[in-house]
Structure 1
């Protein structure tokens, strides 16, 4: 009990620090940046109508002046589900239609992402120290920091996905505990080739299905992670049944467990996903709402149009300055410019007189040292999982590749580096687990050297984060100071 309490105190301490770090100047800049122009405005419309209305062309400038008259009830075609925008709307309901209001819930979920990552890592490693390392790495990642401070959807998707993974690990422990209890209650040392018990209701699997359904209700591509982790969880069930002595009967057991997983996770996720459209279904003004008398069939038609948008010729023929092909995401080949005020003249807006021009930028980039160490940690995690048969490393490997690889077939269309927010929690878990392997058990021969290595990694990440902090937070820089942080031509 004391160990569990201490682990939660450490978790809350790290998350509290991350909250304060991210809260500073959250409302700056006051204008809508990048895709906030869609999601913050859609969120406000949801509060007014229950669906996404239309805004006048000059609405961004009006909103900056507190004028919300640009919103009309005419329906707007939107290309992502509603839940993420409802979460943004919760902050706007609390603090108003302003930059602090629309960024508050991303801040909350950015901190929850750190909390869930710590708890996942601790459950994998059974070590508060290793969980804390993962949490600190994510706290000082530049991309996670920026995404916690702007009103985009991806931070909600990442947080809910990591919560689902945490629940999945709880289910793994629950299942193995129930198998062990079955053997004990029946006075058995093993199943002796028998199938063993079937657990038709698994509460943590149900929680997984609900949470993944919510995450898909933010962005569709979460479905790939649901599929990947569902397969992995069934393999865990198969391994547990074999370990208990089911032998050849572990295969039919796995088929039954797979069916149970499908119901608990996939079917439940589908139901939850549909429910995330509740406000569209129960109001009358949404886009395509009246294409069928049956609202569910109308919603299905609408989904066909959304799918066509994401996969049609228009989007595939589009171009964007910050298009970042997924092949370069692991090494952060092309960060994204979120907002910029360029060519601030000397002597104005705080720019030192008599010198060079200045600028203010928000750059969506990870902490380089962290991402580059993460490449080596990912390679090590693959080896430790597949060759050393250490099941724990499957979680960051499966999670990262399920979040990354599906973007390759879509790379004909513009894709952006900030989508990699789904990858970086798994990277931090991989690094933490690898450092844990170096540190070893208390009193072990590698303990001191491993601890020093972990300390050096954390120190390098923190120092690197401090160096790039000005370009993550809209701070005034001269062009020379900005160039010092743009290490490669592809970053500019």
Structure 2
């Protein structure tokens, strides 16, 4: 489970502070069985939160008006199809309603992978609110398990891993996007899954590298070749992320560079005489093939419904031979992508809930997915809302903990801090370019950043708890501080829960949860 980690020389120990693992791992140990049972318990809790009353509100909320219908069209035609103006009402009248289609393929702004996943729920539970939200709830729940396990692997602490899963489970925006048929939770899931595969690969290949050098000696200046099997899985995951939303491309670039740095570091730690040459010669090309080429193949595969079915946008005809069909479709698909890129780069229509990336971390402008003022709460005026907003106790604290990660990486060059910063920046910085161009964007676009924000918090929690050889009073105080923070997060989430899940509450109770005018 621990993988290969080099032992620092006495000179290094005298000159460098302890690594995050040296600092945290002795503090909060865990065993293998508990290492699965505790994350599974947190995942079960997350699943209850996401599946409870999933069919409510019984309405097509926010962008479900696009993605739920596009997913249904994929089931019926293999590509997105035009719908009637009254499609939303028709879908809610009967779960098997098929009278929503007009002629012709529909132009869509995003690739089909996320919509195919939404379609699985519609195939299982028909075209109902529960059906089109099922896959998002399942994927959101599974992402909690993945984060808990990857955090445990990074910290070697079951308690910290479970804390990471719990924090993700009770983040407001993660909950809302897990209960809504939109694409962002799927992008986050596949990016997180790809990251988890890379972390596993790092442990496995460092152990294999150490074993090979131990068996054969350092016969080559470059070191031995090691097969990175888990990077193949990472390539499949990241290709699916891009096939859901193009923002996944930035993670391929960031994670590819990160993986190469890890490879060079592993060779240097193992005593290879030319670690940089060995990394570029033996690791760079396989990494490119698995993280870039395989991701590209995966991306194209998700378009197969459009490629092999006539009638999609810009694809009116198809040949009988699959190979000929594929060859003929590629120029049309390329032109389709040019049109999609033009749409994304020129989308400057003002929206009442739009926000800019420099405002996301402070939660300046959340998005109301659904709002009505029904009766039935026992007050003169009632409110019912689904507000896509992160839990402030997580988001605001993560601003500090991410800065701590930056500082720790600059001082220590610890791979965990660097990986967290890379994952966060890959989901945040690219939006600044579009923000300066005034492209329309929303707070929930930050969903892929969330796991890395949570990881930064739990690593700092581990520092606060302290190492095993610290004074008992110091560790007790640190554990109390970390536990108190988790309780604050839970209380904050509980307070916001009614406006995250569309509960009918008195207007005054709703307004008390709108801490700033910009939240309304």
Q: Give the TM-score, by structure 2 length.
A: 0.89
Match of 2:132 among 75, 81, 102: 102
Give per-residue Cα distances to partners, 1:183-238, cap 9 Å, x unaligned: 2112x4xx498211123x42111111111111111111111011101101100111
Separation in 2 of the partners of 1:183 and 1:254?
15
Contact 1:146 1:472 in 2 (8 A): yes
- Counterpart of 2:221 in structure 1 is 194
- Counterpart of 2:191 in structure 1 is 161
Contact 2:311 2:317 in 1 (8 A): no
Match of 2:161 among 127, 131, 140: 131
Root mean square deviation, CA, Å: 1.6
Which stretch of structure 1 is more off in the superposition, 60-69 or 225-234?
60-69
Contact 2:310 2:317 in 1 (8 A): no
Structure 2 residue 361 is matched with structure 1 residue 361: no
Which stretch of structure 1 is more off in the superposition, 203-212 or 91-100?
203-212
1:287-436 aligned within 5 A? 287-290=313-316, 294-312=328-346, 315-316=347-348, 318-342=349-373, 344=374, 349-352=375-378, 355=380, 357-411=381-435, 412-436=438-462
Separation in 2 of the partners of 1:70 and 1:205?
42
Match of 1:9 among 15, 34, 37: 37
Separation in 1 of the partners of 2:209 and 2:317?
51
Separation in 2 of the partners of 1:192 and 1:456?
53
How many residues are treated as equivalent by the alignment? 477
Separation in 1 of the partners of 2:369 and 2:316?
37
Kindly tell me: are residues 230 and 306 of structure 1, through their superposed partners in 2, closer, same or farther at Cα, counting changes over 3 Å?
same
- Counterpart of 2:512 in structure 1 is 484
Contact 1:59 1:68 in 2 (8 A): no
Unaligned runs of 5+ in 1: none
- Counterpart of 2:81 in structure 1 is 53
SS in 1 for 2:60: coil
Give per-residue Cα distances to partners, 1:106-139, cap 9 Å, x unaligned: 0000011111111111111011111011111111
SS in 1 for 2:369: strand
Structure 2 residue 259 is matched with structure 1 residue 242: no
Shift of 1:259: 1.7
Separation in 1 of the partners of 2:303 and 2:467?
49
Kindly tell me: are residues 55 and 290 of structure 1, through their superposed partners in 2, closer, same or farther at Cα, counting changes over 3 Å?
closer
Contact 1:141 1:370 in 2 (8 A): yes
Unaligned runs of 5+ in 2: 2-29, 319-324
- Counterpart of 2:500 in structure 1 is 472
Contact 2:382 2:504 in 1 (8 A): yes
Contact 1:225 1:399 in 2 (8 A): yes
- Counterpart of 1:85 in structure 2 is 115
- Counterpart of 2:22 in structure 1 is none
Contact 1:192 1:245 in 2 (8 A): no
- Counterpart of 2:248 in structure 1 is 222
Separation in 2 of the partners of 1:385 and 1:449?
26
Kindly tell me: are residues 246 and 299 of structure 1, through their superposed partners in 2, closer, same or farther at Cα, counting changes over 3 Å?
same
Match of 1:32 among 60, 78, 82: 60
Separation in 1 of the partners of 2:317 and 2:467?
63
Contact 1:143 1:418 in 2 (8 A): yes
Which stretch of structure 1 is more off in the superposition, 44-53 or 289-298?
289-298
- Counterpart of 2:26 in structure 1 is none
Separation in 2 of the partners of 1:205 and 1:385?
24
Shift of 1:442: 3.4
Shift of 1:72: 3.3
Separation in 2 of the partners of 1:367 and 1:194?
51
Q: Once superposed, which parts of structure 1, at least 4 consecutive aligned residues long, lie more than 2 Å away?
A: 290-293, 440-447
Contact 2:428 2:449 in 1 (8 A): yes
